[in-house]
Every structure is written in C-alpha cells, then in structure tokens.
C-alpha cells in the first residue's frame, strides 16, 4: 500500500513540476473563484447576474471558441509526446537515425 501511495504522490509531484508558473497561478485563481462562488453569497449573486446579462448568442460564441481552442491546440504534454514517439517508432516505414541525418531539406 505504501508503494502505491508513494507512486501516486510521485506522479502528482511530477505533474505539478511539469507545468509552468502561469498554469499554477491560473489554477489557484480558478479554485479561489469556485470557492468564492460556493461560499460567498455576494460573489455568487454577482456571477449569476453577469451570466444572466449575457445574450445567448455571446454564450454560444464563447463556448464555440473555447471548444475549438481545446480541440486544435498543440499539446506539449510529455506523456503525449512519448505516446506519439512510440507510435512513430512502431510504424513499419519509420526512417532510421542515419536516414534522418542524411536527408536534405
């Protein structure tokens, strides 16, 4: 059980270390906003009022932009890079290191 817990802690620590400072700041602000929404009635009322004031078309456009960004953004995830590298390496027509070095652009 200790090894499982240590493995989980190591994974969480490496995930946190792999993200930049800006990501941590945004995460803390987001978590703070969620806590304020849940626990501060005045903030909850402000958020509800702001949301109700948005026309439906603006909401749809914002959600579409967020969705497109999430779909098309380039991931720099180490896990994603490793998975892609393994797929490329497993392909039958993958060039060797010598072929890549000899190739001209």
CA distance 30 to 62: 18
CA distance 35 to 30: 9
Query: Do 49 and 10 sit in the same domain of this protein?
Result: yes
Query: Do 3 and 45 sit in the same domain of this protein?
Result: yes
**For residue 47, with 0-12 CB atoms within 10 Å meaning exposed, 13-18 middle and 19 or more buried, which class applies?**
middle
Q: Identify whether the C-beta of residue 18 lies closer than 8 Å to the C-beta of residue 78.
A: yes
The two structure tokens encoding residue 61: 């456009």
Q: Identify whether the C-beta of residue 44 lies closer than 8 Å to the C-beta of residue 37.
A: yes
Query: Do 34 and 70 sit in the same domain of this protein?
Result: no
Query: Do 38 and 67 sit in the same domain of this protein?
Result: no
- Dihedral pair phi/psi, residue 14, rounded to 5°: -70, -35
> Whole domain around residue 6: which residue ranges?
1-53
Q: What is the pLDDT of residue 91?
A: 81
Query: Do 11 and 45 sit in the same domain of this protein?
Result: yes
Mean pLDDT, residues 7-33 taken together: 86
**Percent residues over pLDDT 90 in the chain:** 30
Q: What is the pLDDT of residue 96?
A: 77
Each as own residue / partner, the long-range contacts of residues 11-18 (CB below 8 Å, 24 or more positions apart, any chain) are 18/78
Query: Do 1 and 46 sit in the same domain of this protein?
Result: yes
The domain tally of the chain equals 2
């Amino acid at each position: 059980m200790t090894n499982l817990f240590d493995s989980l802690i190591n994974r969480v620590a490496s995930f946190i270390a792999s993200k930049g400072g800006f990501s941590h700041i945004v995460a803390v602000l987001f978590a703070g906003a969620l806590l304020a929404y849940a626990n501060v009635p005045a903030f909850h009322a402000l958020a509800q009022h702001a949301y109700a004031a948005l026309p439906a078309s603006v909401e749809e456009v914002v959600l579409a932009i967020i969705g497109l960004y999430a779909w098309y953004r380039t991931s720099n995830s180490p896990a994603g890079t490793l998975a892609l590298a393994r797929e490329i390496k497993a392909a039958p027509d993958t060039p060797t290191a010598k072929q890549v070095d000899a190739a001209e652009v």
